Amino acid sequence: MGRGRAPCCDKTKVKKGPWSPAEDLCLTTFIQNHGHTNWRALPKQAGLLRCGKSCRLRWINYLRPDVKRGNFTPQEEQTIINLHNSIGNKWSKIASYFPGRTDNEIKNVWNTHLKKRLIMSNKNEALLASPSCTSSSITSSGNHNMEKSLLNDDQGETQEPEIMNWIEKPEFPKLKSTHPNDQAKQAFSSDSPTSSYTSNETSEFSKSEVGIPDNGKIEIPLESDIDFGELFDSLDWNQDSNPEEKPDGGIECSKWFGFLENELGLTCDMDNLAKDQNIVPNLEPEFSPGLDYFPIWPCSPQNLGI
DNA sequence: AAGTTTGACAACCGCCAACCA
DNA sequence: GTGGTTGGCGGTTGTCAAACT
């Protein structure tokens, strides 16, 4: 074989492109039941015709229950600019300062909004600057690194932020602040049209039922790397069990799961199911989650001959 | 109304580092 | 110590919808 590593999977046998709701549900359910100890093996175990990497990306960037979607606030945007100024294209590091935000999302925001905006503002500054203006004055203004990072965007050189002078870490939680004004800004409300959590039109469970405050904001614990697999493994998903006897966490997770289905637009005659089973959907251990829900979905594993 | 352009975002690709046998 | 495997990261591309002509 020549140089390079073997592909992570057989590219001819994996599906590519946008994920279908059925695939989302399949992946979500599998991870909640079994965790994700091995991404490479996960697609096969879950019955998905996807590359393990693709599953990981989909989970991290979209399906994780703690992922925060919706527009970035001006404060968040400014923080991204500052962080990028300090550490460059270290998107994962930048994302670590934004609970619930993903590196991919921040990267997209930078590439589509902030980069252009900064270039424009730099141009304006250059136009406004007098001929006698020295480069050192620019440096002292704090724009030097920013300018450098704009010019050398792909260098990826890192300067470890000296714990970032401009950043007062203790304040960072204000991105998920409990201050009402900040919460109002951050709430996945009307100004967050893409939020996965905002819709309540079709939801059969109210936000309060699934643990979402009225303002639409989900409080995510700082220890956001909860092992949802363990969490769900601890639940009793057996059909016979009485939902009333499930621990609170089980019910809450089940509510969330139902909420996810709604948000994905996957509800089909689940009303009775929810009523009959006190909201907890029945999931068979072998599980073919989406299959019963989406008998006609074109991309469902069922239709692909699994 | 139809075609084209632009913007936003999801997803893929390839590289690299960490881990393990 | 070495080679293989895996997860993670950053760059790039693809897709779709909105805006524009």
Helices (H), ranges, A129-227: 135-140, 144-151, 180-186
> So where are chain A's domains?
11-63, 74-176, 181-293
What residues contact residue A241 under an 8 Å CB cut-off, 6+ apart?
A: none
Helix axes A21-34, A248-263, angle to 10 degrees: 160
Is residue A255 over pLDDT 50? yes
Q: Tell me the percentage of chain A whose pLDDT exceeds 90.
A: 0
Q: What is residue A7's predicted lDDT score, i.e. its pLDDT?
A: 52
The CA distance from A168 to A165, in Å, is 7
Contact by Cβ (8 Å): A73, A177: no
For residue A47, give both structure tokens: 């019955």
Q: What is residue A257's predicted lDDT score, i.e. its pLDDT?
A: 61
Mean pLDDT of chain A: 57
Buried b (16+ CB within 10 A) or exposed e, A88-120: bbbbebbbebbbbbbbebbbebbeeebbeebee
Is residue A256 over pLDDT 70? no
Q: What is residue A258's predicted lDDT score, i.e. its pLDDT?
A: 64
Give the model's confidence band at A248: pLDDT under 50 very low, under 70 low, under 90 confident, else very high: very low
Which nucleotide's C1' atom has the smallest distance to the CA of A17? B11
A68 CA to B2 C1' in angstroms comes to 38
Higher pLDDT, residue A77 or A277 = A77
Considering the four listed CATH numbers 3.40.50.1100, 3.30.565.10, 3.40.50.1970, 1.10.10.60, the one that applies to the domain covering A11-63 is: 1.10.10.60
Is residue A280 over pLDDT 70? no
A42 CA to C4 C1' in angstroms comes to 19
Nearest residue by alpha-carbon distance to C1' of C11: A154
A116 CA to C18 C1' in angstroms comes to 20
Q: What is residue A48's predicted lDDT score, i.e. its pLDDT?
A: 87
For residue A87, give both structure tokens: 């550490």
A76 CA to B3 C1' in angstroms comes to 38
Helices (H), ranges, chain A: 21-34, 42-46, 52-58, 74-87, 91-95, 103-109, 115-128, 135-140, 144-151, 180-186, 228-233, 248-263, 270-276, 289-293
Q: How many CB atoms lie within 10 A of CB A127?
A: 7
The CA distance from A204 to A117, in Å, is 41
pLDDT digits (tens, 9 = 90+) for A175-218: 333 333 333 333 333 333 333 333 333 333 333 333 333 343 43
Positions of strand C less than 7 angstroms from a protein CB: 5-12, 14-16
Higher pLDDT, residue A183 or A121 = A121
Q: What is residue A67's predicted lDDT score, i.e. its pLDDT?
A: 82
In chain A, residues 53 through 92 whose Cβ sits under 7 angstroms from any atom of nucleic acid strand B: 53-54, 57-58, 61-62, 69, 71
- Rounded to an integer, what is the distance from CA A31 to the centroid of its chain? 15
Q: What is residue A98's predicted lDDT score, i.e. its pLDDT?
A: 87
Which amino acid does the sequence have at A117?
A: R
Is residue A72 over pLDDT 80? yes
In chain A, residues 124 through 143 whose Cβ sits under 7 angstroms from any atom of nucleic acid strand B: none
Footprint of strand C on the protein (CB under 7 A): A 5-6, 8, 17-18, 36-41, 52-53, 56, 89-93, 103-104, 107-108, 111, 153-154, 156
Q: Tell me the percentage of chain A whose pLDDT exceeds 70.
A: 38
